[in-house]
Amino acid sequence: MQEKQYTPSLLSFFIYNPTFGPREGEEEKKILFYHPSDVEKNEKIRNVGLCEAIVQFTRTFCPTKPAKSLHTQKNRQFFFEPENNFWVVMVVRNPMIEKLNKDGKTQTIEYQEEEMLDTVYGAVVRQCYSMYKLFNGTFARAMEAGGVELLMQKLEKFFYKYLQTLHLQSSDLLDVFGGISFFPLDKMTYLKIQSFVNRVEESLSLIKYTAFLYNDQLIWSGLEQDDMRILYKYLTTSLFPRHTEPELAGRDSPLRPEVTGNLLHYGRFLTGPLNLKDPEAKFRFPKIFVSAEDGYEELHLIVYKAMSAAACFMISASVELNRDFCEQLDSLVGPQLTLLASDICEQFTVNRRISGPEKEPQFKFIYFNHMNLAEKSTIHMRKTASVCLTSVHPDLMKILGDINCDFARVDEDEEIIVKAMTDYWVVGKKSDQRELYVILNQKNANLIEVNEEVKRLCATQFNNIFFLD
C-alpha cells in the first residue's frame, strides 16, 4: 500500500482590527491584510468573524489571556495581539498521510493533529510581526503617519514577500528560542575586533551602533538584545544567503582586483551601492527601527562584507548618506576587515587542529541560554534561506519540543529523560536559565549510562558552564 505524507503548510494569514468596522455591513473594513488575496470577500469576512468570536468567547474565562490557538481536525489557527486591537492570525494545515484503500482506488486521509506544537508555530507568528516591525516600525506608527490606507499598503508590500520565505515544514525548537549563534574566539582576536569597532566609530562619528559577524555567527553587537535577535535572523536567513555566490570565488575573486597599499581589499556593500565605481550607483540603504529610550529610532542599515566577515553599521535615518561617505567607509573599513577576516580564519583553523579530528559523535545536542540568547546546535545544518535541514528524525524533534513545553510550565530546574520508540534516548536539562537537549544513539544503554554520557558531554562541550546537578 502506498502512503503519501504531507508536511504542515500555510493555509491563510491575515491581520485585522475589530474596531475598524463595528457596524453591520462594514465588516470588510476590519481586514487590513489577507493572504491568499484571491479568496472571495465573504469568505474573508467569515474567517475574520470566526476568529473574533473565538477570542471574545475565550475572554469570558480569562479576560487578561485570550485564546492563543484553536485546534481542529484539519488545521490549527494561531492568534497573536501584538498591539492593542490589532490581531495577527495564521492558519496552518495539519500534517497528513494519504493512504490507498484495499480496493486500490479510493483514498483516505489521516490528519496528524498531535504532530504540531503550539509553541513552535506561535513563535513563528511572533517572528512575522517582529520582522515587520524591524523594517516598518509599529502598526500604530503607520496609522499616525497616513491612516489605514498607509498601514494596508505597508502590510501588503512587506507580507506579500515575507510569507513566501516561511518554511513551516522545517520550523522547530530553534524558532521558539530565536537565539543567536556566537562565534568562539580567543581573547587576542576578540580584542582586535573590539579595537576595530572603536576605531571605525571614532573615525566615522555618524555611526551609532555596530555589529560584527563571522561565518553567520555573531562576535560583537552594540544593539539591545531583542533588536539584535531579529536583525540576526534577517541577516542569516535572508540577506547573507542571497549574497553567497561571489563569496565562493574566494581569494582569487576578480571582484576587487585593486590593491590598497600591500593589502588586497575584498570589501563590498551588501546593502546600498553594488559598485562604487558606477557613476549611476544609488546610495539608498534599508531602514530599520530599533528600540530607544523614548520608544524607537529609525536607522540606515549598512551591511559591509569582506570574505567571511561582515560588519553592520547603523546610522540615524535623519542623515542623508552620499557617495562621499560610502567611499570613505569603503577605504577605511575594507582593508581592515579583510585583514581581520584572515586573522579569524587562521585562528579558527589552528584551534580546530589542536582539538583534533572530528569524529562522528554518539550524541547530538541543542543548547540555549536565556540570559544572552546564545544558541548552539549540532542537530541543524542551516545552509540556505529556503531549507533548514536537521540531521535527526522529525519524531525526535517533536520530543524535544514537548520537553521544552514541560520546562516552560515550571520555574524550577529539572531534568527529563525519554526513551523514544526508535531506541534513541532524549535528555533535557534545565538549569539556571540554560537549557540543554541531547539525543543519544545508544540502543542498549540504561538510565545510569545515559546520565553518565550526558555528564561527559557537559564536561567536554560546556566545560566552563556550570550546570546544576
Q: Which of 296, 337, 297 is nearest to 319 (CA)?
A: 297
Do 162 and 188 form a contact (C-beta atoms < 8 A)? no
Average pLDDT over residues 332-348: 87
∠ CA 324-327-330, rounded to 5°: 150
Helix (H), strand (E) at residue 461: helix 447-461
User: Measured between alpha carbons, how far is 294 from 290 in angstroms, rounded to an integer?
Assistant: 11
What is the pLDDT confidence band of residue 287, given thresholds at 50, 70 and 90? very high
Q: What is the DSSP string of 364-399?
A: EEEEEETTT-BEEESSEEE-SSS-EEESS-HHHHHH
Task: Judge whether residue 317 has pLDDT over 50.
Answer: yes
Residue 124 has pLDDT above 80, yes or no: yes
Under DSSP, is residue 276 helix (H, G, I), strand (E, B) or coil?
coil
pLDDT bracket for residue 10 (50, 70, 90): very high
Amino acid 151: pLDDT:
92
Q: Which residue's entry shows cell 535527526?
A: 392
Contact (Cβ atoms closer than 8 angstroms) between residue 297 and residue 243: no
Highest mean pLDDT of the ranges 61-70, 200-209, 436-445: 200-209
Bridge partners of residue 33, in order along the sequence: 15
User: Residue 249: its pLDDT value, please?
Assistant: 40
Q: What is the per-residue pLDDT for 315?
A: 93
Residues of the chain above pLDDT 70, percent: 89
Query: What pLDDT does residue 464 have?
Result: 59
136 pLDDT band (50/70/90 cuts)?
A: very high
pLDDT grade for 246, boundaries at 50, 70 and 90: very low
Residue 210: its pLDDT value, please?
94
**pLDDT value of residue 276:** 78
* Sign of the CA dihedral running 215, 220, 223, 225: positive
Whole-number Å distance between alpha carbons of 245 and 250: 10
Map out the domains of the chain with their CATH numbers: 3-171 (3.30.450.70), 187-252+261-355 (3.30.450.30), 363-462 (3.30.450)
Angle between helices 118-136 and 225-234 (to 10 degrees): 90
pTM of the full structure: 0.87
pLDDT at position 352 is 66
Q: What is the DSSP letter of 94?
A: P
With cell 501588503, the residue in question is 156
Q: How far is it, in rounded angstroms, from Cα 305 to Cα 221?
A: 16
Residue 127: closest CA among 94, 167, 157: 167
pLDDT tier, 132 (very low <50, low <70, confident <90, very high otherwise): very high
Summarize pLDDT for 172-186 with one digit per residue, the tens. 888 889 899 998 888
Question: Mean pLDDT throughout 262-289?
Answer: 81
